[in-house]
Chain A
């Protein structure tokens, strides 16, 4: 008794709780693979639901990786490197989450590789699949130096760890590849909806721009939020508050850009009566999605965080800053959910002489969908927690030393002269 009690810690409760959710999610996932998608509440009218939202959201939440890596290695703002390191790790987790969700969501997971072999270059979904696959490779390479810092690896396989950390020299090239691939698929995840002429609410070019801008805001927000939470919850993390403050301010401005585009996008939709589009927009602004839209996406997802993050006083208070970042994350998830479901709930009738607009009924995810979703999210949280503890992914000191080291190495030939 005396020995056991101190062993129980908050850390163990956290990991234990996540592990339970993970096991439940795996069990539900096995059920889906075994029994098929009839276990979901998806129908031919609403074929995409919760899983697609998780998929879109986890890719959006990973956008911190490409944007911050571009800032560090292409704009050469080296002081953001420790944040980019955290973002890269989150990106790797996010993309694996997306791939796992997609595997469940397609009817034939055994054929997932078909899109890599049978190219349809006209299909945005093909383009997204290729980009996600390639970018997962880029992220894995970018994350190799992070895994190289694992203590056990360093002591047992020092040469391997050394080689892995040397990938760091390719960082600028990887950043270019990551930027190109992300510019493509982060926006084409929106264009995926935007090119469907059969669905007038989606059929507009702005949706792709909105997706990438909101992803940049959401991805950077999650990175900073996760860093700040790690510092408060463990002693394995440390941050440079000035850097995080600066990134939080950038997020505020990105949100302003997002809200600006979003405003003109929504306003332009109100001016012409386009059957299906007007009804879809009405569903968002006055119908059953209006709470999500006005409160979730607009007020809490954009306006409040803009105020909190651009106001120096609130931004410098950790609690307010964390609240604002959490709201941004929630707002981006709400945007993804609303985009998907609003377009699916409204269909256009093909029948002549019938009312143009038809409603597809309602959708609420089944318990199996929720359990697998929770499992995938807990996999993400668990991976990040282990990363903070064993790979020091939130450590603004060690990378500083690393930068200092490379400067010393760079200085050696000079002294040799």
Chain B
């Protein structure tokens, strides 16, 4: 009989402990929400002009060099999608940096998170390599490191110098909008999208200026003006992911 009383008391104790843990996690969550409020007001977007893109693939190579990406992985994939008039049409696909990113939702360890400026950031020290994000991404923007990338990077030094650490075996990796360049550039007082040292490597290397980068919250930025002036589209908008990469369709006559 006495034993029953103890079990009941223990049960209540356990419930109390559980409630405390839950409440604690809510407090932490609130603190994190406050953190994201200081966004600096910037929202980085990329505009890819298909009427200019020639499919040269320099963007992919510069990306491989600056981010030390192994040759069997592409953070940025260029595909030929058809023709308009006599011209071939290409589409370059970096990470879409979705505002509602399925990868961020599904990651069991919060290794993928939203930065205040909208970039979806990977924490390679936290990723456990479960590959759920890879399955959830509608754009195929994520790649798994099936083996360790050792030896020299064939894109270095021709296309640039690595700016970030090489990823270990067993984690998923993806395009980061070169936030290492953005952060460093901002700290030096540069403007991403205008100053080359503060702009993603793919955008800088593009020989025809088909990849523009800038702050959508700044009405005077080149991307804001371009998106206001021309019709744009985003990939798989029907999914509601709100990508931060906009495309300008290829036309018969190249537009400025």
Contacts and interface: CB of A to CB of B under 8 A. Distances in A.
B145 A107 contact: yes
Contacts of A3: none
A350 B236 contact: yes
Given A47-B135, A125-B106, A196-B135, A107 B25 contact: no
Contact of A108 (B7, B128, B132): B128
A198 interface: yes
A196 B102 contact: yes
A412 to B, nearest CB: 11
Interface string B119-138: 00000001111111011111
Nearest to B79: A351
A105 B131 CA distance: 9
B239 A48 contact: no
A9 interface: no
A353 B144 contact: no
Given A36-B170, A123-B107, A352 B135 contact: no
| Most chain B beta carbons < 10 A, residue from A47, A344, A347 | A47
A113 to B, nearest CB: 9
A107 B133 CA distance: 13
A274 to B, nearest CB: 11
A406 interface: no
Interface string B166-180: 001111100000000
B108 A120 contact: yes
A351 B128 contact: no
A129 B108 contact: yes
B108 A115 contact: yes
Interface in A316-351: 344, 347-348, 350-351
Contacts of A115: 108-109, 128
A347 B131 CA distance: 16
A126 B144 CA distance: 19
Nearest to A166: B3
A353 B80 CA distance: 11
A390 interface: no
A208 B139 CA distance: 25
A197 B236 CA distance: 11
Interface string B86-124: 000001010000000010111111110000000000000
Contacts of A123: 105-108, 132
A11 interface: no
B131 A107 contact: yes
B136 A111 contact: no
Nearest to A202: B135
Interface in A91-118: 105-108, 111-112, 114-115, 118
Given A107-B170, A125-B106, A125-B108, A47 B131 contact: yes
A235 interface: no
A396 interface: no
Nearest to A169: B3
Contact of A47 (B1, B25, B144, B233): B144
Nearest to B138: A198
A166 to B, nearest CB: 9
Contacts of B131: 47-48, 107
A37 B170 contact: yes
B171 A108 contact: yes
B110 A351 contact: no
A173 to B, nearest CB: 6
B71 to A, nearest CB: 14
A155 interface: no
B93 A169 contact: no
A120 B123 CA distance: 14
A86 to B, nearest CB: 25
B106 to A, nearest CB: 5
Contacts of A36: 146-148, 169-170
Given A123-B106, A126-B109, A108 B235 contact: no
Contact of B128 (A111, A173, A196): A111
Interface in A69-105: 105
A155 B164 CA distance: 62
Interface in B41-91: 79, 81-82, 91
A417 interface: no
24 contacts: A36-B146, A36-B147, A38-B146, A44-B143, A47-B131, A106-B130, A106-B170, A107-B130, A107-B144, A108-B129, A111-B127, A111-B128, A118-B110, A119-B25, A120-B108, A120-B110, A123-B106, A123-B108, A124-B106, A125-B130, A126-B109, A197-B138, A198-B136, A198-B138
Interface of A: 36-38, 42, 44, 47-48, 105-108, 111-112, 114-115, 118-126, 129, 169-170, 173, 192, 195-199, 344, 347-348, 350-354, 413
Given A114-B126, A353-B82, 15 more contacts: A36-B146, A37-B129, A38-B146, A38-B147, A48-B135, A105-B130, A107-B129, A107-B130, A115-B109, A118-B110, A123-B106, A129-B108, A195-B105, A196-B102, A196-B136
